[in-house]
Amino acid sequence: MNDKDTMDQEQDDIAIRVSNLSKCYQIYDTPRDRLKQFILPRIRHAVGRQSAQYFREFWALKDVSFEVKKGETIGIIGKNGSGKSTLLQMICGTLNPTAGSITTHGRIAALLELGSGFNPEFTGRENVYMNASVLGLSKEEIDQRFDDIATFADIGEFIEQPVKTYSSGMFVRLAFAVNIMSQPEVMVVDEALAVGDMAFQAKCMTALRRLQDKGATVLFVSHDISSIKSLCSQAIYLEHGLMKAFGKAASIAEDYERIVREEMNCDVQAVPMLIDNSSPERSISSSKINKSLVFKVSNEFDERAKLFRYGKGGARIRFAELVDMNDQPVVSAEFNQQVKIRIYLDVQIDVVISANYYIQDDKKNLILGAGLSTVGEPLLHGVPDNRYSVAYTTRLPIQEGNYSIQLQLTKPVIADQSAEFLDVIDDAIVFNVQRRANRRIWTKVYIENSLEVHAV
């Protein structure tokens, strides 16, 4: 194969190409400034004078470039106002860019704004035919798929009523049903699924996975990081209109979570009256700590952890280990093996904290974990310059594969709701689990069941 054939094949593999994409809005302080901008620059130009500007520029998106291959699912994450919806609207052609270019290949179905593209005076049935025809389906194809669309939407007799009588959930149900049943080559979803109920969200996720299996390209905006990790192969992280990162979904999602936690720490510092300084009566005091235990430290652990560590400080994890019940290190665990996760930490300030662990799979989805409060224990009242050991005993009833453990030292702000992150280490411990003997499991976690079978 020559270079031209290789280049042509690479071009054929691209579903979406975004090059130096930017969108700028003109912000006016008053309606009078808008009128001035409309009239005065033309007058100044006519008389040969330099025109003035009566607006401020707001760049919703600036110089964004990336490529999406056919069949990929790309997650787009970022805080509100970061430019996610603006990007999707320009890809779908409902918003014109200020600069840059977009190239797409294949039929695009988009679920952007609630009820977008619906005529409120038309019935659900009429809107199905109108929207499906816009997506490129013939009347015959719509006739064949209408029952499936109505079944998926599950809005009953309302399918024959004007959509202006619909609730927000019914809007989303019908819009998603039309889009998913049109079998698009590119599917764009912008957080709309959050409106539906639990059963509908589960149905949508199943439908998206089946669409993926058929080779469709999916762009997926969501604040649900677990969905981004499980659904997406790649992710884009937007911040203030700029593309901060583009890469593997698990890695990008971890970076985003870290930044959010650091910002939470700043918010806590800005509002100190929210902090719940739990009293010593509700916490483990230093007098109850067994000081005869050996406190372990490791320079190798510190060197490895510094690449993945963040937090406000005040308490620090010095070492952590995964061991069996004889205190021997575990690198490759048997299925359902009983193990200990031991965390060694020291404290630099007077603080009430929890030491937490979370076992993650290879996509960084949280599988198992615990904190002091979740196991019914009081928080740890740390005293400056003291050292502590926290050991959890648990089992590993999880599917064979590679796993890592994230460790956290947190200072609760509002009990069981929010916390200040003092020290967090991603991938503090890495291990694998062997396949279950005799009977392989097909779920991430397997808990022993009791069974009764009766002939009835």
pLDDT of residue 275: 44
pLDDT of residue 202: 76
pLDDT of residue 97: 92
**Cα 154 to Cα 176: distance, rounded to the nearest angstrom:** 11
CATH architecture of the domain with range 11-254: 3-Layer(aba) Sandwich (3.40)
Q: Which of 184, 197, 129, 134 is nearest to 159 (CA)?
A: 129
* Contacting residues for 6 by C-beta, under 8 A, at least 6 apart: none
pLDDT of residue 406: 94
pLDDT in tens, 232-285: 889 999 999 999 999 999 889 888 888 888 777 766 555 554 444 444 445 555
Q: Under CATH, which number does the domain 271-433 receive?
A: 2.70.50.60
Digit-by-digit pLDDT tens for the chain (456 residues) are 555 544 455 556 889 999 999 999 988 888 887 887 777 777 767 767 777 777 788 899 999 999 999 999 999 999 888 999 899 889 988 889 999 999 988 878 877 765 567 888 999 999 999 988 888 889 999 999 999 999 888 888 899 999 889 887 888 888 888 888 888 888 888 766 665 667 777 777 788 888 888 888 989 888 888 888 888 889 999 999 999 999 999 889 888 888 888 777 766 555 554 444 444 445 555 445 566 678 999 888 988 888 889 999 999 999 999 999 999 999 999 999 999 999 999 999 999 999 999 999 988 889 999 999 999 999 999 999 999 999 999 999 999 999 999 999 999 877 667 789 999 999 999 999 999 988 889 999 999 899 999 998
**E strand intervals along 55-124:** 56-69, 73-77, 99-104, 108-111
Q: Are 11 and 17 in contact (CB under 8 A)?
A: no
The number of beta carbons lying within 10 Å of the beta carbon of residue 160 is 12
pLDDT of residue 273: 43
Domain boundaries, the chain: 11-254, 271-433
Phi, psi of 231 (to 5 degrees): -90, -30
pLDDT of residue 445: 94
**E strand intervals along 287-348:** 309-310, 315-323, 332-333, 338-347
